[in-house]
Structure 1
């Protein structure tokens, strides 16, 4: 009896196992099919088009802290920053900001002092030479005056001498008088010449002294101070931040800036593919990487007309300036921002994910219809980063596949009537022109807020 029960249990267990295996296999195949044919409904609602950009915060208005203005006059065209307060330091008006290396200036000071000493020696020598020369002429004048007096006595003594002797004495007196007069003229000319020579040397001396004093004054200005209260932000150049070890030049002497943090802007660069969508006056959502939980509103205030070929990038980019509407004390220059520029909003349209759209010679989707899957031709218009607008071919709530089914080439195609295509394309063209006119009108209503470029450029952030 026990053996009979055992024989009956074995077939029952086997049947139960086979039933369970069959059920699991069926469920697994069904799950695979559902996963492979993942679908989403066609949505109807607001559709926004954004251009995404990465930017860098800076103050809209700032006062530049520059190196000494007399560098060019001193023929010093570059100077190295030997010391500088840390970026972000809050300073008072007249407070210390930076020190420039004085090596070249000290060399010029020594050269100027050497030249002054040289000219001073020349001046002293000229004075001595002049004194000696004039003293010699004065002595000669005195001697000639005595000789002339002697000739007068000879004329007096020869009064009773023969006529020939008298004439000779008179001739000698006349000659002595003429020599005395000529020597007097020579003395005056020598004196005038000496005065001119000494004046010339003294002019050169004064010029070198002024030059040296200019160097001394410039040396004092090599200690750079803040023109007003504020936070020190390092200047930018094509070589990066200007800081200790950097060089400033006479044509770009900016060391740092004191920004006005009450009005902040975000400088960003847009790829040439997307720049046609961006215009002044467009709204922008701004997020700061340092504070991801905070969001700010802004607007485009400037779009560059000419692209730039920046280092390390194949395509050209255009500078776009966004003004931040809110004032927040935590915002600081040089912070990285994520800017979403809203280029247009469609209030009520049908749209699907980009993954659902297939493109061959026509645009189509795989749509579920009556328990089957068909290829449905669609007419599309604008896209954003994730979705595309459907102008014709689908209805709200219809299911479209996100992946291509296995038998895609065998599925029937539901085409759109050519006349409908032509009408929709014409309508889309008219609507696009209308949108462009509206955007142009809005752009013209926005006040031009020109932002000068950072001389020499700076550390730029490029986005795709």
Structure 2
């Protein structure tokens, strides 16, 4: 009995071991995620947010008086400005310029005016004293001349040597008298020039004070016409000029009157997607303020040079999108949601991006039969792509099953469809040859020096 139980126990254990090994998955039965190649309409899109701006506008400029160098004001601060998008009539309030810079210069100008006035008054007094001394010297020279003439008359009976000495003294007195009169004329002109220079300095200081007084009237900026006010923005992602902004007195404008029939959406595309953006591409433009609105547009310009995002190492490129048509409800600076159509195919075969692998210049997929037992490493030619799928121009047909990850035996599989790769390579070589021929036809003229 015991022997029979032992035999039954052994048989049960062997059966369990057999079942375990039978149910254990092998490498041949490896579970792989797959997807099916689809065929149909295919669109490649790039999504971005932007901001409405007018391509053309009239400007409210910095008051002309601030451009006068005599003010010595090189920067001004906008103390207050009405909200962007506000509608104004001619003469309505737009902005106020902070008066601090004007106050500082006005105080300096008044101090300078006082100094120049004192210098002018002092120059007149000094000139009067100097010319008075000159006149006294002329009178003394005249008296000395008359004295010498009397001595000549009294020396008529004197010895010849005495008479000669008297004549020489008379000649000296006459010459000194003439020199003093000529020197007085020159000194008079010299002193007049000094006084004139001091007066000119005083006049300039007075004009500067008067100019600064007139600037106070220009601190309040009013609208020159009716329209919608837009903030002025410098190129290259410059900040908008608004309240508390500091700008140069040579700045082109403080605010704008955007022309609403020339609207554009300015957006910034990252460097990964910028190669897909081309001028003329169609754009669907959504307005965040009006979710029900959808406008048409097209890419009008693409920046040649990228720029860094603030507090980031990522580079972006400015792209301007022309808004087709106009809408009275739209206002400058409204946020837009832009969908740029970078590619379109009416009918194409496409597969998931995860299913396409690359090896240098070679692109390929892993085709799988329904039971998953046979896997083929197939070369493909890819076309346009979007965020999820890529078009397969050659190598894949509708309904093919593609693996979404590489199988474990990927290295042992050989490439199928190398004729596709050769075709792609031949087309690339032909295109390169044509470009070389075109470059050879357009050669720069050789520089020759004369």
TM-score under structure 2 length normalisation: 0.71
Q: CA deviation at 1:221?
A: 3.4
**Secondary structure at 1:287 match in 2:** strand
Distance in 1 between residues matched to 2:332 and 2:186, nearest whole Å = 73
Could you say if the C-alpha distance between residues 144 and 323 of structure 1 is closer, same or farther in structure 2, counting changes exceeding 3 Å?
same
Q: Deviations over 1:137-159 (max 9, x none)?
A: 33454455456456545655665
2:327 matched residue in structure 1: 328
**Secondary structure at 1:262 match in 2:** helix
1:389 matched residue in structure 2: 391
**Secondary structure at 2:58 match in 1:** strand
Could you say if the C-alpha distance between residues 432 and 234 of structure 1 is closer, same or farther in structure 2, counting changes exceeding 3 Å?
farther
2:60 matched residue in structure 1: 65
Q: Which runs of 5+ in 2 are unaligned?
A: 1-30, 432-450
Distance in 2 between residues matched to 1:364 and 1:401, nearest whole Å = 5
Distance in 2 between residues matched to 1:409 and 1:137, nearest whole Å = 116
Distance in 1 between residues matched to 2:288 and 2:325, nearest whole Å = 17
Could you say if the C-alpha distance between residues 335 and 366 of structure 1 is closer, same or farther in structure 2, counting changes exceeding 3 Å?
farther
Distance in 2 between residues matched to 1:426 and 1:315, nearest whole Å = 37
Q: Is the Cα contact below 8 Å between 2:67 and 2:250 reproduced in 1?
A: no
Matched, 1:284 2:283: yes
- Give the alignment partner of residue 230 of structure 1, picking from 227, 230, 253: 227
1:202 matched residue in structure 2: 199
1:51 matched residue in structure 2: 46
1:88 matched residue in structure 2: 85
Matched, 1:266 2:261: no
Q: Deviations over 1:103-161 (max 9, x none)?
A: 222222222222222222222222122223323433454455456456545655665x4
Distance in 2 between residues matched to 1:364 and 1:285, nearest whole Å = 36
Distance in 1 between residues matched to 2:305 and 2:166, nearest whole Å = 101
2:184 matched residue in structure 1: 187
Q: CA deviation at 1:177?
A: 3.2
**Worse overlay, 310-319 or 325-334:** 310-319
TM-score under structure 1 length normalisation: 0.69
Equivalent residue pairs, number: 387
Q: CA deviation at 1:348?
A: 1.3
Distance in 2 between residues matched to 1:253 and 1:287, nearest whole Å = 31
Matched, 1:211 2:211: no
Could you say if the C-alpha distance between residues 417 and 311 of structure 1 is closer, same or farther in structure 2, counting changes exceeding 3 Å?
closer
Q: Is the Cα contact below 8 Å between 1:100 and 1:222 reproduced in 2?
A: yes
Could you say if the C-alpha distance between residues 156 and 216 of structure 1 is closer, same or farther in structure 2, counting changes exceeding 3 Å?
same
**Worse overlay, 126-135 or 387-396:** 387-396
Q: Deviations over 1:10-36 (max 9, x none)?
A: xxxxxxxxxxxxxxxxxxxxxxxxxx9
Q: Which runs of 5+ in 1 are unaligned?
A: 1-35, 436-464
Distance in 2 between residues matched to 1:134 and 1:393, nearest whole Å = 110
Could you say if the C-alpha distance between residues 332 and 365 of structure 1 is closer, same or farther in structure 2, counting changes exceeding 3 Å?
farther
Distance in 2 between residues matched to 1:360 and 1:281, nearest whole Å = 31
Distance in 1 between residues matched to 2:182 and 2:407, nearest whole Å = 123
Distance in 2 between residues matched to 1:150 and 1:417, nearest whole Å = 133
1:340 matched residue in structure 2: 339
1:363 matched residue in structure 2: 365
